[in-house]
C-alpha cells in the first residue's frame, strides 16, 4: 500500500473515467443524436481513446443506457419536487404542466429516448432494458396519480394505470413533435390531464 505519491487507486480512476465518459456522451447524444455521435469522438472529447469506452462499457448501447439512466434520475427528481410544492389539485396539475413545459420543450431527451428505442428491434438487450424502465416510469406516474386523486377526494374514480399510460404516451408524442417543430403547443398536456380528472369526477 503506497502511503504517499499516488493518492488514487486504480478502481477510483476507472470510476472517474466512466463518469467522465457518461458526462461527455450525454452532451453529445443529446445535441447530435445517437446515430450521429461516434464513440471515437466521445472518447477524444473526454480525453481518452476509444479503448477506454470499451473498457468501461460493453458497447455503444450500454453507454447510451447509462446516459439515459443519468437523465432519468434528474427527470424523476424534477417531477417529485414539482409535485411536493402545492397541496391542491389544480396547483399540482399546474406544477406538473410547468415541469412538462420545461422537460419536453428545450432539451431533446425525448428525441434521444425515442431514437434509441428504435434500436430495440435489433437488440434484445436494449428491448428488455427499455421495457423494464418504461414500466418503472409508468408505475411511478400511476402512483403519483393515485396519490393526487386520493388527496383531492376523487376516490378511485380515475384508473391510475390508464392515466399513467396516457400521460407517458402524450409526453413522448409531444416531445417528439416538439423536437421537430417548436411551434407545437405543449399546453395541451395540462389540459388533457385536467380533462381526464374532470371526466372522472362527473
Sites of contact with a second copy (CB under 8 A)? 31-36, 108, 111-112, 114-115, 117-122, 127, 130-131, 134-135, 162, 165-166, 168-174, 176-177, 179-181, 184-185, 187-188, 191-192, 194-196, 198-199, 202
Cβ 119 to DNA shortest distance, Å: 9
Instruction: Please state, in angstroms and rounded to a whole number, the distance separating the CA atoms of residues 172 and 185.
Output: 14
Instruction: Determine contact, residues 22/70, Cβ cutoff 8 Å.
Output: yes
Instruction: Please state, in angstroms and rounded to a whole number, the distance separating the CA atoms of residues 85 and 78.
Output: 11
Instruction: Please state, in angstroms and rounded to a whole number, the distance separating the CA atoms of residues 114 and 121.
Output: 12
Which grid coordinates belong to 11?
Answer: 478502481
Cβ 17 to a second copy shortest distance, Å: 28
Instruction: Please state, in angstroms and rounded to a whole number, the distance separating the CA atoms of residues 97 and 95.
Output: 5
Whichever of 15 and 76 has its CB closer to a second copy, that residue is 76
Whichever of 143 and 191 has its CB closer to a second copy, that residue is 191
Name the CA radius of gyration of the chain, rounded: 20
Task: Say whether residue 172 binds DNA (CB under 7 A).
Answer: no
Whichever of 11 and 180 has its CB closer to a second copy, that residue is 180
Cβ 12 to DNA shortest distance, Å: 7
Residue list 38-67, contact with DNA (CB under 7 A): 38-41, 43, 48-52, 54-56, 59-61
Task: Please classify residue 1 by burial: count the beta carbons closer than 10 Å to its beta carbon, then call 0-12 exposed, 13-18 middle and 19+ buried.
Answer: exposed
Query: What residue 199 binds from a second copy, DNA, none (CB within 5 to 8 A, per partner kind)?
Result: a second copy
37-43 LR contacts (CB < 8 Å, sep 24+): 39/63
Query: What residue 43 binds from DNA, a second copy, none (CB within 5 to 8 A, per partner kind)?
Result: DNA
Task: Say whether residue 101 binds DNA (CB under 7 A).
Answer: no
Instruction: Please state, in angstroms and rounded to a whole number, the distance separating the CA atoms of residues 166 and 121.
Output: 23
Q: Give the footprint of DNA on this chain (CB under 7 A).
A: 1-2, 6, 9-11, 13-14, 16-18, 37-41, 43, 48-52, 54-56, 59-61
Amino acid at each position: 500500500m503506497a502511503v504517499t505519491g499516488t493518492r488514487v487507486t486504480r478502481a477510483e480512476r476507472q470510476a472517474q473515467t466512466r463518469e467522465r465518459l457518461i458526462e461527455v456522451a450525454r452532451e453529445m447524444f443529446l445535441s447530435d443524436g445517437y446515430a450521429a455521435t461516434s464513440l471515437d469522438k466521445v472518447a477524444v472529447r473526454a480525453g481518452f481513446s476509444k479503448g477506454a469506452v470499451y473498457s468501461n462499457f460493453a458497447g455503444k448501447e450500454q453507454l447510451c443506457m447509462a446516459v439515459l439512466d443519468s437523465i432519468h434520475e434528474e427527470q424523476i427528481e424534477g417531477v417529485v419536487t414539482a409535485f411536493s410544492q402545492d397541496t391542491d389539485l389544480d396547483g399540482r396539475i399546474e406544477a406538473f404542466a410547468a415541469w412538462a413545459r420545461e422537460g419536453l420543450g428545450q432539451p431533446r431527451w425525448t428525441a434521444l429516448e425515442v431514437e434509441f428505442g428504435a434500436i430495440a428491434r435489433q437488440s434484445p438487450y436494449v428491448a428488455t432494458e427499455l421495457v423494464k424502465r418504461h414500466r418503472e416510469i409508468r408505475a411511478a406516474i400511476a402512483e403519483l396519480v393515485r396519490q393526487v386523486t386520493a388527496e383531492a377526494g376523487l376516490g378511485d374514480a380515475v384508473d391510475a394505470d390508464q392515466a399513467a399510460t396516457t400521460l407517458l404516451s402524450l409526453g413522448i408524442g409531444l416531445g417528439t413533435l416538439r423536437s421537430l417543430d417548436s411551434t407545437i403547443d405543449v399546453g395541451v398536456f395540462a389540459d388533457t390531464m385536467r380533462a381526464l380528472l374532470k371526466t372522472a369526477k362527473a
